[in-house]
Structure 1
């Protein structure tokens, strides 16, 4: 079974994208970062590789999706509180992101979503596991 997760995303302007996510509070593993890509740390076991489009194309024969026009993936990250979710979303908007949809409040779970600078959708949420409805 896999022990680490690396999500690869194509980006148009790596320095701008890296600055955007750094300003949101994310750190980078410099050992796996260079002019072609930046390894953004999500957790001890999860990373997002932000790759320049031209470099990303070396890994696939398929045409790259324009995330501003089509949805290729939804990346969901959990946070410790509703306040943290709101704070991150507000900061993302200040940095040039666009809100993807209205806030979703289900009582036990609160979520907000934004399109990053390249159009990728990030859903940030808080969940109280003790209040998740039983099926």
Structure 2
């Protein structure tokens, strides 16, 4: 078993040492012990940190991510929950493409007034039918706890 100290884990994972200490404090990762003042981790912690980063990028809270690991620390990923999140991301991608198209058209439209432009009107109509309302995925959603640290 390869052992890495906190500095090497931070360097290889891109997570700050303070983030690693916090993740350990809330039970997302576990150190093997210390060598002097430096925490030591099994090299497998890098995979777990990658899973945590992916979960955060997908918009899951740290509490939700913690629930994706079994009592033994191994992944116990709820596939149904991931499918729902993937569907939500797909909807957001469609909304973002529409928003991108509207913005590009507004920036490049040669019409004297956008209200006179038939393409602009069509894009706005499409946006209103989709109820275009971009919401960042990493913000709080109802019924979801948000951790106060990284």
**TM-score class normalised by the smaller sequence:** under 0.3
- Larger fraction in strand: 1
More helix by share: 2
TM, length-normalised to structure 2: 0.23
- Give the greater-gyration-radius structure (CA): 2
